[in-house]
């Protein structure tokens, strides 16, 4: 069964990744596209073979055959559009972060529930074959109990005119809310552990827009492990490897280049025998490398197919609003900690 889609917001992510991904999905049909800029909507209509292009959401939502909408507008527009789509009884796949604040995201989730529509969130990196493999390895106990984790996502994002992402009122946050949130989500997803406390530093070192150009958050996970996420808008794209690492009592996972918009990267899994007791020589050569084989695909295609199956009643919503809100709350905790100096000054 093909799910008939409407797309709201035809800019960067929709045109660059999600619409091309949707074209490859085995259960999706694109019906209509909408963008505040009609030229962008017209361009996507031609490019992806939609039947209709609009510059307002009402006309798109009035189309009966549309079952699900993908909301990829700037964050400040998410709430009104999600409410309108839920009232029109369309199931909704919404881009991260769901709302300007976690509280707004909760309002959106509650309203969708009250209207009986499904709400899924675009944390597509969960569909990366290596991230799914990491989850399998961690959950099966092959690297023992998780004691430490770390994830990083960066880009080069200089000041630009009329850029909603650089305006705190329109985006809700900068490097951490935009990119760090993916890292927090991956650590929660792969370990299956929730964060129970967080402290962060967020600020502007290089670029002076109203959102932070860099930040870091230290989380204590529910089993006591410490996890660290860092996100920067001020490192040249090619200069960061976007690493993700997990350490356990029996081994570790190192990956680089897996956090991003294209499925790829490298992974190394090390398994050690921790039953031997203390070794004063701290020998680091007694280690085995696990052979890890995966098949890469298109994360956006998998995201559209999985949400489509949920719409068809053939599966669960893959990434729920509750999940997204938990990750957003970690970022907000980092902002609060940083703003209120909830740390020791040296």
Ligand X SMILES: NC(=O)c1ccc[n+]([C@@H]2O[C@H](COP(=O)([O-])OP(=O)(O)OC[C@H]3O[C@@H](n4cnc5c(N)ncnc54)[C@H](O)[C@@H]3O)[C@@H](O)[C@H]2O)c1
Residues engaged in binding ligand X (CB under 6 A) = 8-14, 35-37, 40, 72-75, 77, 95-96, 122, 124, 178, 261
Distances (CA, A) of 111 to 69, 82, 90, 224, 319: 16, 9, 12, 35, 17
Distance between CA atoms of residues 42 and 59, nearest Å: 14
Give Cβ neighbours of residue 178 (< 8 Å, ≥ 6 apart): 97, 165, 171, 231, 233
Question: Of 27, 44, 26, which is closest to residue 35 (Cα–Cα)?
Answer: 44
Between 4 and 79, CB nearer to ligand X:
79
- Residue with smaller CB distance to ligand X, 261 or 274: 261
Integer angstrom CA distances of residue 319 from 7, 155, 197, 306:
19, 25, 22, 9
63 vs 77, beta carbon nearer ligand X: 77
Cβ neighbours for 3, distance < 8 A, ≥ 6 positions apart: 27, 28, 29, 67, 68, 308, 311, 312
Nearer to ligand X, 188 or 251 (CB): 188
Q: Minimum distance from CB of 257 to ligand X (Å)?
A: 15
Which residue minimizes CB distance to ligand X?
11
Comparison of 161 and 286: residue with beta carbon closer to ligand X? 161
Residues 6 or more apart whose Cβ sits within 8 Å of residue 129: 263, 294, 295, 296, 297
Nearer to ligand X, 122 or 248 (CB): 122
Q: Is 326 helix (H, G, I), strand (E, B) or coil?
A: helix
**C-beta closer to ligand X: residue 156 or 290:** 156
In whole angstroms, the minimum distance from the beta carbon of 58 to ligand X comes to 11
Work out how close the CB of 139 gets to ligand X at its nearest, in angstroms, rounded to a whole number.
24
Residue-wise burial string across 170-208, b where 16 or more C-beta atoms lie within 10 A, e elsewhere: bbbbbbbbbbbbbbbbbbbbbbebebeebbbbbebeebe
């Amino acid at each position: 069964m093909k799910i008939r889609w409407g797309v709201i917001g035809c800019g960067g992510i929709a045109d660059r990744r999600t619409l091309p991904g949707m074209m490859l999905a085995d259960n999706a049909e694109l019906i209509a596209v909408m963008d505040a800029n009609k030229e962008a909507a017209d361009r996507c209509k031609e490019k992806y073979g939609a039947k209709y292009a609009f510059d307002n959401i009402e006309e798109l939502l009035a189309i009966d055959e549309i079952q699900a909408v993908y909301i990829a507008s700037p964050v400040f527009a998410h709430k009104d559009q999600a409410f309108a789509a839920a009232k029109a009884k369309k199931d909704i796949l919404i881009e991260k972060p769901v709302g300007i604040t976690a509280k707004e995201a909760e309002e959106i989730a509650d309203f969708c529930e009250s209207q009986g529509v499904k709400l899924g969130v675009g944390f597509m990196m969960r569909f990366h074959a290596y991230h799914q493999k990491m989850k399998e390895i961690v959950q099966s106990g092959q690297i023992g109990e998780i004691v430490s984790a770390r994830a990083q996502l960066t880009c080069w994002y200089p000041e630009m005119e009329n850029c909603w992402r650089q305006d705190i009122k329109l985006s809700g946050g900068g490097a951490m809310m935009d990119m760090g949130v993916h890292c927090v989500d991956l650590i929660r997803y792969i370990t299956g552990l929730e964060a129970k406390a967080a402290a962060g530093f967020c600020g502007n070192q290089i670029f002076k827009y109203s959102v932070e150009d860099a930040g870091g958050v230290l989380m204590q996970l529910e089993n006591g492990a410490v996890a660290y996420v860092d996100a920067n808008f001020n490192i040249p794209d090619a200069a960061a490897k976007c690493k993700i690492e997990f350490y356990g009592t029996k081994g570790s996972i190192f990956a680089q280049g897996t956090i991003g918009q294209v499925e790829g990267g490298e992974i190394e899994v090390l398994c050690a025998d921790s039953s031997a007791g203390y070794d004063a020589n701290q020998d680091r050569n007694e280690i085995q490398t696990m052979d890890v084989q995966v098949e890469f695909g298109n994360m956006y295609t998998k995201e559209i197919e999985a949400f489509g199956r949920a719409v068809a009643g053939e599966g669960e919503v893959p990434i729920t609003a509750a999940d997204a809100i938990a990750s957003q709350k970690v970022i907000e905790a980092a902002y609060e900690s940083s703003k209120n100096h909830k740390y020791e000054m040296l």
